[in-house]
Amino acid sequence: MIERRECYELSTLKGWSLIYGRRKVGKTYLATRCVPHDSYYVVTRQMDVLNGGERLELGKAVTQIAGELKAGKSVILDEFQRVPEALWEVLTTQHPSGKLTLLASSLGITKKAFDRNSPLLGLALPYRMDVVHYPDALAHFGDPLSALLFRDPWVTAHASSWADVSRNPQGFYYVVKGLIGEVFQEEERRFTQIYEAILISVAEGEWNSSIITSRLQSTLSVNGSTVSSYLDSLGKMGLIRKIKVFRGGRGAEWYHTLSSPLMSAVLYAEAKHRVSDNNQEVDLTRPIARELQFSVGELLAEKNGAQPAYSPKVDIDIVLLKHGKPIAGYEVKIGEIEKAEAEKATWKIRSAGIPRAGLVSLTAKPPPSDESLTTEDLVKIAREIRKKWQKRS
């Protein structure tokens, strides 16, 4: 399994904590392996509780957990978002005794748990978990494209490469749509046509709220504020993330992309090829290349202690910002970068007022630049990053 920095972070959490994030990002796996605990409980959809081989009524289970906390034990309670708020105080009366680790598949749970009227306020610290950090996946797999695919840990049981996804896009689409549906169910929201249309638009590369609004207005009754609100909600659900847009210092703008590279690729396949109706093999080169660009940006930003950004209008794949100012720009390609392409990319980057110009190719050593990086170089950077957080832990 991938050695994830979250394991070390979870193992050092003090006191009570609430670990939250969307489904299938590895919360249960990491918590049960990285958080020392005496017992593990999970709340089922039927609103009873499993504890080992025992099935308990919910109220009885919460009382039992409270007793274990009083005795100074460490307890993990999974799917906490299903526990009615009326029962929370049964647990909180035992604070600060024991160690309680709450796991929740709803990002909305933080609103309830840390509301000013919540009995949990000030007792448990939140910890958000998302897909695997790209440097962690790359340090493990040693291959930039495999690392991209397996940022969603559940995929390892169903695919060995992107070719498996390309050959069976329908199967992966159904799983992804099911995961999205579960997120909405846990958030107590309806997965409406507008939400679906926004996710599809983002998967196709429509990057800001104005562009998405224009596209949706041909078939749906929406305006800019509606779309912006929906994008914010999708961000809070862990389905969409925002990347800073570099505009040469003129104003603030955000590029929206899906948090999961796999989700981005299969929703793109649905938008372009209707794989839900026809399970044909599809070419995923475009979404893979786009998601690689952002993940490599994450890697290089962490290496340089910078913020990753993107310049869609000038088409600079990666811009690194420090204190809002650009320090480097990169062209990223899966294939080889020819000399003429390198010269054009370098000119583009420097013309945008970015002092350093770099080139990244997964196929061959790029032409000379301020920083020309190969697959081997990226893997080396990822493993150096891993060593740093291992030392801190």
Residues with Cβ < 8 Å from 90, sequence gap 6 or more?
62, 63, 66
Residue 102 confidence (pLDDT): 97
Residue 189 confidence (pLDDT): 76
Domain finish residue from 266, 291, 316:
291
- CATH code for the domain of 186: 1.10.10.10
Q: pLDDT tens across 199-217, in order? A: 999 999 998 889 899 989 9
Q: In this structure, are 80 and 145 located in the same domain?
A: no
For tokens 């100012």, name the residue: 325
3-class DSSP state of 97: coil
CB 49 within 8 A of CB 43: yes
Residue 98: phi and psi, rounded to 5, are 65, -170
Q: In this structure, are 313 and 250 located in the same domain?
A: no
Q: pLDDT tens across 81-97, in order? A: 999 999 999 999 999 99
Q: The domain containing residue 333 runs over which residues?
A: 295-392
Residue 181 confidence (pLDDT): 86
**pLDDT interval class at 249 (50, 70, 90):** low
Residue 53: is its pLDDT beyond 90? no
Q: What is the mean pLDDT of residues 159-177?
A: 96
Q: In this structure, are 139 and 115 located in the same domain?
A: no
Residue 163 confidence (pLDDT): 98
Lowest mean pLDDT of 178-187, 276-285, 303-312, 334-343, name the range. 178-187
Domain total of the chain: 3
Residue 171 confidence (pLDDT): 97
Residue 253 confidence (pLDDT): 85
Residue 382 confidence (pLDDT): 98
CB 103 within 8 A of CB 79: yes
Q: What is the mean pLDDT of residues 220-234?
A: 90
**pLDDT interval class at 250 (50, 70, 90):** low
Q: What is the mean pLDDT of residues 114-138?
A: 94
Q: In this structure, are 42 and 118 located in the same domain?
A: yes
Residue burial 149-159, b: 16+ Cβ < 10 Å; e: rest: bbbbbebeeeb
Percentage above 90 pLDDT, the chain: 81
Q: In this structure, are 42 and 67 located in the same domain?
A: yes
**pLDDT interval class at 351 (50, 70, 90):** very high
Q: In this structure, are 353 and 378 located in the same domain?
A: yes
Q: In this structure, are 172 and 61 located in the same domain?
A: no
Domain finish residue from 250, 273, 291:
291
Residue 305: is its pLDDT beyond 90? yes
Q: Is the dihedral of CA 117, 118, 123, 125 positive or negative?
A: negative
CB 340 within 8 A of CB 327: no
Residue 155: is its pLDDT beyond 90? yes
What does the mean pLDDT of the chain come to? 93
Residue 247 confidence (pLDDT): 83
Q: In this structure, are 145 and 281 located in the same domain?
A: yes
Q: In this structure, are 214 and 74 located in the same domain?
A: no
**pLDDT interval class at 108 (50, 70, 90):** confident
Among 262, 35, 247, smallest CA distance to 165 is for 262
Residue 107 confidence (pLDDT): 73
Q: In this structure, are 259 and 325 located in the same domain?
A: no
Residue 193: is its pLDDT beyond 80? yes
Domain finish residue from 128, 149, 165:
128
Q: In this structure, are 122 and 163 located in the same domain?
A: no
